Structure 1
Amino acid sequence: MNDDRLHEWRHRHRHVLYALRWFAVLAIPATLAVLFVWCAGWFSPRLGPARIVDAFQATTTPHPGFRRNHAKGVCVTGHFVSDGAGTLLSRASVFAHGQYPVVGRLSIPGSDPGQSDGAAPVRSFALRVLLPHGEEWRLAMNSVPVFAVRTPQALFEQLEADARDPGTGRANPAKMQAFLDSHPEARAFGRYLDRHPPSSGYDNATYYGISAFEAVNGEGVHRFVRWEVVPENAYRPADAGRLRDPDFLAYDLMKHLRSGPLRWHLMLNVALPGDTTDDSTRQWAQSPDRMRIDVGTLVIDRAQAQIDGPCRDIIFDPTILPNGIAPSSDPLLAARSATYAESFGRRMREESAAHAGAH
């Protein structure tokens, strides 16, 4: 085939090549996610990741190509500087002395990419840390240290309670009240928000991994840990003036980065006897007996629009972990892994269809 005919063939079949490229991207992580949740016993005849994603979509109008949750966000890049202290708890390569590249995403919860920042009481931070020998560590964190629900079924019921009525375009408060009455554990989430108003920016919030994970050190000692990243910038609550700006979070982030990098300290908290390791609705109590280790500094020095930034096509699956860290039996971990893969697959199919339609 000569060059002209090859060029013509590529032009005619560009959408096919595009779809095949995304099939290759999707096939491996999607298959692994399905196997993971199957082995975890999460799939059932009644509930699976497709129904969870459908329920997220029902909370807003359609937004093809966007994440089904945390639809509004901004990409960030930087690095993690490990001080070596984490090797006490884990043999994971991320805790060895060194500096590791990071791609991340700061966002607010919700399925509408056009929602106002002032409507979001929670900030979220997702990270992909690139490690030696092809390993990665992916973290998905929120500015609240607990989830509102314990199980995938409860999450589905919460989303159904928040679904928009086709007639009014709004959620029915009575449905949400009924959900809260049947799930009293969800009230801990609301109480935390009442005591901790949302931060004035992405830069001065503490972000929590929430679920417990199992750390294994070089001597084979197993401990459960929870982590958080604590900002060097002092927390300030968002004031009424800033809340009137629908995009103040991304604007302020860009402004701060023009003055220099932003830094957080990665803290590992070790479980004490009696601490729950499979329930993300229960926060570990503060205790002077708890081992708490600062294992390094997260440095963010650039931000990019999510539409074409480096975080756009990353699945921030919290079960993608380096050797030396493993998921706990928290049922939400398996559910999040499968749901994120389902959401990613839909986004890529929508993008492929849009690209094919344009040609």
Structure 2
Amino acid sequence: MIRPTLALALASLSLPLAAQTPAATPIDFIDAFRALSGEHKGVRKGHAKGVCAEGEFVASELAHQRFAGPLFSGQAIPAQLRFSMAGGNPHVPDNTRSPRGLAAQFQLPDGSLHHIATLTTPVFGAKDPDSFLGLLRAQRPGPEGKPDAERVAAYRAAHPDTRPQAEWLASNPPPWSYATATYHGLHTFYLETRQGEKRKVRWHLQPQDREKGLSTAEMAEAPADFLAQRLAERLRQGPVRFDWIMVFGEAEDSDDDPSRPWPAARPVLKIGTLSIRQSGGEACTPINFDPNVMSAGFSAGNDPILRMRSPVYAVSFGQRLSGQ
């Protein structure tokens, strides 16, 4: 007879590896960010380097007619924003081949808030929290201060969902300015029409200044801190504007995997214009830009990465406020 304890041990050996691996937790991500970027007390654990900005959003007349939420009132809705570099290093050079971010908090006419958090890549780095955490751990620097390229390549080979974002970054130059990049919402949301229908949507912010990337020479020669300066210089000429483009999905389009793009032919609608009027200051510093903070008319898809953002952001926010 096999003793119960031995039977349990043998049974565990037959389980898939994923079943034996604890699910990713918010603290796991905070620890992984620290391992990647080092200890930087009192700053954001992700997107540590950035610059505040202020502006407003005005919905288009067509969006006002079609959608019920207060974001589409047609009034000028004040926005506190933050442009940023990816990662937890507040001193990362601005010419790094990595995503840039744009986050915003909108103060709606009814007093409620709406948040967005975006990246300049059209897809996220993994399909779910466990896969993303594994990627972060694979990228952990070794004794020489650099990740093991073979270890990272092996992880990406075993987890194909981690390849699309990396391939996009490798084939597209970093933005010349925060004002010359397209910013993608990445996740799938549902947007309520005035008839009560819920439409599956993704969206992006398209620069009216048009997209422009760094040349190969500029990538090699650009100073470490040019992005905030270029944004301020551009704003002295007038507002920086982005067209907010809503993309409407079909039934077969994923609402739970931000690493998978939708087909390019999906219908789109310009739902309004986001205008940036000034940058600098600290107005954005106390804001926790959680994209799960949504106004009436919006609801989240089934994306586990989106769901994980709230607890991870909350831990990061609490540690930042307490100087950790």
Relative to the length of structure 1, the TM-score reads 0.81
Once the two structures are superposed, residues 52-77 of structure 1 have per-residue CA deviations (whole angstroms, 9 ceiling, x without a partner) of: 11111110221101111111000000
Counterpart of 1:258 in structure 2 is: 236
Q: Distance in 1 between matches of 2:174 and 2:218?
A: 14
- Number of aligned residues: 302
Q: Quick check: 186-195 or 101-110, which moved more?
A: 186-195
CA distance in 1, matches of 2:290, 2:309: 7
Which residue among 291, 297, 303 is the counterpart of 1:318? Answer: 291
| Aligned equivalent of 2:54 | 77
CA distance in 2, matches of 1:272, 1:174: 38
1:202-232 superposed Cα distances (whole Å, 9 cap, x missing partner): 0010100011101112211011100111111
Could you list the runs of 5+ residues in structure 2 that have no partner in the other structure?
Answer: 1-20
Shift of 1:263: 0.3
Q: Which residue of 2 aligns with 1:274?
A: 252
> Counterpart of 1:215?
191
Q: Deviations over 1:166-192 (max 9, x none)?
A: x32222222211211111122211222
More moved, 192-201 vs 149-158: 192-201
Q: How many Å separate the matches in 2 of 1:142 and 1:197?
A: 14
Report what 1:225 is aligned to: 201
Residue 28 of structure 1 corresponds to none
Amino acid at match of 1:99: A
Q: Percent identity?
A: 31
CA shift, 1:88, in A, is 5.2
Give the distance between the partners of 1:318 and 1:67, measured in 2 at CA: 16
CA contact (8 A) 1:82 1:295 kept: yes
Query: Following superposition of structure 1 onto structure 2, how do residues 334-349 of structure 1 map, counting pairs within 5 Å?
Result: 334-349=307-322
Paired residues of 2:201 and 2:247 also in contact (CA < 8 A)? yes
CA–CA distance in structure 2, aligned partners of residues 194 and 241 of structure 1: 16
| Contact 2:247-2:267 at 8 Å conserved across structures | yes
In 1, the alpha carbon distance for the partners of 2:279 and 2:57 equals 16
**Distance of 1:46 and 1:273 partners within structure 2:** 29
Which residue in 2 is equivalent to 1:295? 271
Give yes or no for contact 1:93–1:131 (8 Å, CA) kept in 2. yes
CA distance change for structure 1 residues 84 and 136 in 2, over 3 Å: closer, same or farther? farther
CA RMSD of aligned residues (A): 1.6
Amino acid at match of 1:346: Q
TM-score by length of 2: 0.89
Instruction: Output the CA distance in 2 between the equivalents of 1:193 and 1:120.
Output: 7
In the TM superposition, 1:1-359 aligns within 5 A as 46-87=23-64, 89-165=66-142, 167-239=143-215, 240-241=217-218, 243-287=221-265, 290-305=266-281, 309-350=282-323
Unmatched segments (≥5 aa) in structure 1:
1-43, 352-359
